[in-house]
Amino acid sequence: MRTAIYPGSFDPVTCGHLDIIERASKLFDKLIVLVSVNPLKQTCFTREERIEFIRRVTTHLTNIQVDSFDGLLTDYFKKSGANVIVKGLRAMSDFEYEFQMSLVNKDLCCNAETVFLPSDLAGTFLSSSMVKQIALFNGDISSYVPTEIEEDIKRGVQRIASDKNKKEIL
């Protein structure tokens, strides 16, 4: 059985992420969508919210597991018995960083092969940060995030914006 891991912050999951999830789920027997929990990095949405958003927008996919981790990706990779790490590439600007990460992961774990999937056209300019910024100023995010989570994202961003101690997250 070929198992792939798609890791990311998913703060929040966007249509660009969902496109990668749907395509990767067809390429592998099982896809673990892995929510990274970095204690040094503040996020707009909690681990539980990010996981629940992904679960809610992937109910149509049968070979998906959603999990979270707070260590090295390669440690999770070894423990899970996965074969491949999947990453989405939006533009050439993503490539340098992602290429470096793939080399580090391979160095830490020689079985950790990374497969890059190019984003679809619509996802090329899309990022979670942009979605949060647009939502902060009450812009229209409906074509950037799955409908099922749109209202929760708007509420979450406004919640952070109204907390003056957390404003810098956005």
Measure the CA angle with vertex 119, ends 71 and 152; round to 5°: 65
Between the alpha carbon of residue 102 and those of residues 84, 161, 169, the distances in Å are: 11, 35, 27
Decide: is 8 part of the binding site for ligand PNS (CB under 6 A): yes
Close Cβ partners of 91 (under 8 Å, ≥ 6 residues apart): 124
**Which is closer to ligand PNS, CB of 27 or CB of 72?**
72
Regarding 44 and contact with ligand PNS (CB under 6 A), the answer is no
Count of CB atoms situated within 10 Å of the CB of 96: 9
Interface pick for ligand PNS out of 29, 46, 72, 143 (rule CB under 6 A): 72
Which residue in 9, 14, 83, 119 binds ligand PNS (CB under 6 A)?
9
Please report whether residue 104 would count as binding ligand PNS according to CB under 6 A.
Answer: yes
Question: In terms of CB distance, is 7 or 146 closer to ligand PNS?
Answer: 7
- Active site amino acids: 17, 41, 90, 128
Is residue 146 part of the contact set for ligand PNS (CB under 6 A)?
A: no
Q: What angle do CA 160, 130, 142 make, to 5 degrees?
A: 90
How big is the site for ligand PNS, counted in residues (CB under 6 A)? 8
